[in-house]
Structure 1
Amino acid sequence: MTKDRKAVLIRHVAFEGPGILSPILASMGFSQRIVDASDGALSREDPGDLLVVLGGPIGAYDDRDYPFLLDEMKLIEQSFKKEIPFIGICLGSQLAARVLGARVYPGKSKEIGWGEVSLSSEGFQSPLGCEGGIHGVKVLHWHGDTFDLPAGASRLAETNVTPNQAFSVGNNLLALQFHLEATATDLEKWFVGHSFEISKTERVSVGDLRRQTALYAKTCEKAGEAVFRSFLSRAGFGER
């Protein structure tokens, strides 16, 4: 009998959920537990067989205001020590970088909207460069912070604004500043939840974001599915 697979997904705000990841995980035989980071139960959580840490509108360094981040980083560290596969998206990637000893800090400007990333040579060999992956695909950017590349990590992608857009450590850790999980339907909730940030960011508007989403989201969803399936396969999770 094959062992049940358990994915633990850490969520910071209700409208930034797992998106396309949820049906992918279901198709691969994972049970899924979504944990709200701010509920105060992270110290009792285990990382399961796969730990996914999603995005959110706070900083990875904001643990004085949001002390649950300390428990969250302990959980991430536990997954690394146990060599449990990990996917970090946006805030999740920044928390992973911090756990690995790298500095996380405000970037030189915000990136909000759709645009390509440039893959490094390591990126082309990673899940990002898999068949049907993100090379040449516009992906969703929505972050103001960035991080230094952790020691021992491979830098996978960059933009002109953000040199460290993605990194990996072996086959078990994939950290993405950008969003491959969000669907066009999801983003309607983001436009409401992030309305203040949108209104305060120059050259960004809901109308423009909606028009870009209509053009690029479906292609990104397909590329994101290829990337996530490639990562899970390399991490030892075959199809069921």
Structure 2
Amino acid sequence: MKQAIAIRHLAFEDLGLLQPLLQDQGYAIRYLDAGVDPITPELNQADLLIILGGPISANDQALYPFLVDELALLRQRLEQKRPTLGICLGAQLMALALGAEVTAMAGKEIGYGSLSLTDAGQNSPLAALTETATVLHWHGEQFSQPEGALSLAHTELCNCQAFAVGSHALGLQFHLEADPSRLEQWLIGHCCELSQNGLSPAIIRNQQDRFGAEVARVGQQVFHQWLKDLDNPA
């Protein structure tokens, strides 16, 4: 059985909708909790590595030393072209590992909002997003386009929302994995951030009612296609 290792920074920001897709594809899933479980070079042996989101900055390595270990693992893995998926913080760490920068944005993107695909994005597993042009955003930092990577998507505030390196590495700033039926956990866990930015949980709930089911359906299509491409690289 193939092994997928998911590094998690918050208990509720887990694989979500991606978990049953991985299981259907024959992956055994193992979670590692950052700051608790050791991140060692031996993890590179996993068939798939997924770095999930979290509220800390990818640049906070001095404050959170486990990020140094995650970056070392990512550099090793990406250099060897091993299947790797990064979501939000995970994508920012991937970008750093590839020599790009992570910087603060002019403002935060929080909640369901628009997304535009590049030409490369329209010819990638993200192509299904043209059906909705809407995703769940939850970030205040952004990554620059890594050298050698294809930029797949952008928004008005964020020039690079997704990138791909070959068919083996995908970085997503937004949250296609989030299960809309569990969004209340996000509203509880990120209550301080919502308050600091003048956002009522009711706003996000209303967005979820409008967009959540369709975004989840299309997100599953995206992940299904990406996993399929891993097994059948061009």
Structure 1 length as normaliser, TM-score?
Answer: 0.93
Alignment correspondent of 2:101: 103
Alignment correspondent of 1:14: 11
Look up the SS of the partner of 1:39 in the other structure: coil
Q: 2:40 aligns with which of 43, 49, 73?
A: 43
Q: CA deviation at 1:44?
A: 5.6
Tell me, yes or no, if structure 1 residue 227 matches structure 2 residue 222. Answer: yes
Alignment correspondent of 2:167: 171
Q: CA deviation at 1:139?
A: 0.7
Letter in structure 1 aligned against 2:195 = S
Tell me, yes or no, if structure 1 residue 185 matches structure 2 residue 181. Answer: yes
Offset from partner CA, 1:82-110 (integer Å, 9 cap, x none): 32111110000000000000111111110
Tell me, yes or no, if structure 1 residue 70 matches structure 2 residue 68. Answer: yes
Q: CA deviation at 1:40?
A: 4.4
- Measure, in 2, the Cα distance between the counterparts of 1:118 and 1:196: 29
Q: 2:151 aligns with which of 133, 150, 155?
A: 155
Letter in structure 1 aligned against 2:214 = T
Is contact 2:41-2:73 (8 Å) kept?
A: no
Q: When the two structures are aligned, how many residues end up with a matched partner?
A: 231
Alignment correspondent of 2:205: 210
Q: Deviating runs (4+, > 4 A) in structure 1?
A: none
Match runs of 1:78-117 below 5 Å: 78-117=76-115
Identity of aligned residues (%): 42
Letter in structure 2 aligned against 1:49 = D
Q: CA deviation at 1:116?
A: 2.0
Q: CA deviation at 1:237?
A: 6.2
Look up the SS of the partner of 1:135 in the other structure: helix
- Measure, in 1, the Cα distance between the counterparts of 2:12 and 2:118: 31
Q: CA deviation at 1:45?
A: 4.8
- Measure, in 2, the Cα distance between the counterparts of 1:171 and 1:117: 21
- Measure, in 1, the Cα distance between the counterparts of 2:43 and 2:83: 13
- Measure, in 2, the Cα distance between the counterparts of 1:84 and 1:188: 34
Look up the SS of the partner of 1:142 in the other structure: strand
Letter in structure 2 aligned against 1:32 = I
Structure 2 length as normaliser, TM-score?
Answer: 0.95
Structure 1 window deviating more from structure 2 (73-82 vs 83-92): it is 73-82
Is contact 2:143-2:160 (8 Å) kept?
A: yes
Is contact 1:40-1:68 (8 Å) kept?
A: no
- Measure, in 2, the Cα distance between the counterparts of 1:35 and 1:52: 10
Is contact 1:172-1:235 (8 Å) kept?
A: yes
Q: CA deviation at 1:72?
A: 0.6
Alignment correspondent of 2:31: 34
Q: 1:56 aligns with which of 54, 57, 61?
A: 54
Q: Which runs of 5+ in 1 are unaligned?
A: none
Is contact 1:116-1:136 (8 Å) kept?
A: no
Q: 1:217 to 1:170 in 2, by over 3 A?
A: same
